[in-house]
């Protein structure tokens, strides 16, 4: 599978979406699974751009790679934005999710959606890099 490297700016989101859509077609994902993968990747990419690189004058890069096995499709996203704790951010309760936007705590909804949209979601900090893996079981 082909690597994709983009500048960490919001203008890169359509290119990321095209990459994921093409990948999903090439590996034969159904429409629902393709949508969920695109949603997960878009949410995390947006967070990296806004929160990881948004405070800097020079945006970093988002680098995508894939691993395809008979059992799984794995999309790997690496960036050099600040570290974060997705485990804490995605633990919104059902009661919090059901509240009106004005009554809901700020933050975490994008990570929550990303984690819930794929079969496995893994995050690790390696040196100065964040590595996020989105796993789809085939």
Give the angle 24-45-49 at the CA atoms, nearest 5°. 155
* Partners of 130 in the β-ladder: 79, 125
Residue 129 has pLDDT above 60, yes or no: yes
Cα separation, 127 vs 135, in Å, equals 23
| 53-109 confidence digits (pLDDT tens) | 987 778 899 999 999 999 999 999 999 998 877 655 455 545 555 556 565 555 557
- Domain hosting 13: range is 4-137
Residue 131 has pLDDT above 80, yes or no: yes
Predicted TM-score (pTM) of this structure: 0.86
DSSP 64: E
Q: Which two tokens stand for residue 14?
A: 């359509």
Q: Mean pLDDT in the chain?
A: 87
Closest of 82, 98, 91, 81 to residue 121, by C-alpha: 91
Q: What is the pLDDT of residue 24?
A: 97
Q: Which two tokens stand for residue 66?
A: 């894939």
CATH number, residue 94: 3.30.565.10
Number of domains comprising the chain:
1
């Amino acid at each position: 599978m082909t690597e994709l490297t983009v500048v960490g700016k919001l203008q890169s989101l359509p290119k990321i979406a095209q990459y994921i859509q093409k990948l999903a077609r090439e590996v034969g994902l159904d429409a629902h699974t393709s949508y969920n993968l695109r949603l997960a990747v878009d949410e995390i990419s947006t967070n990296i751009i806004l929160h990881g690189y948004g405070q800097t004058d020079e945006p970093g890069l988002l680098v995508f790679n894939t691993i395809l096995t008979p059992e799984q499709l794995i999309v790997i996203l690496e960036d050099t934005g600040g570290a974060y704790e997705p485990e804490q951010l995605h633990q919104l309760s059902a009661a919090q999710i059901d509240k009106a936007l004005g009554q809901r705590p700020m933050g975490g909804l994008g990570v929550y959606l990303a984690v819930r949209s794929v079969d496995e979601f893994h995050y690790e900090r390696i040196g100065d890099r964040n590595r996020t893996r989105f796993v789809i079981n085939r």
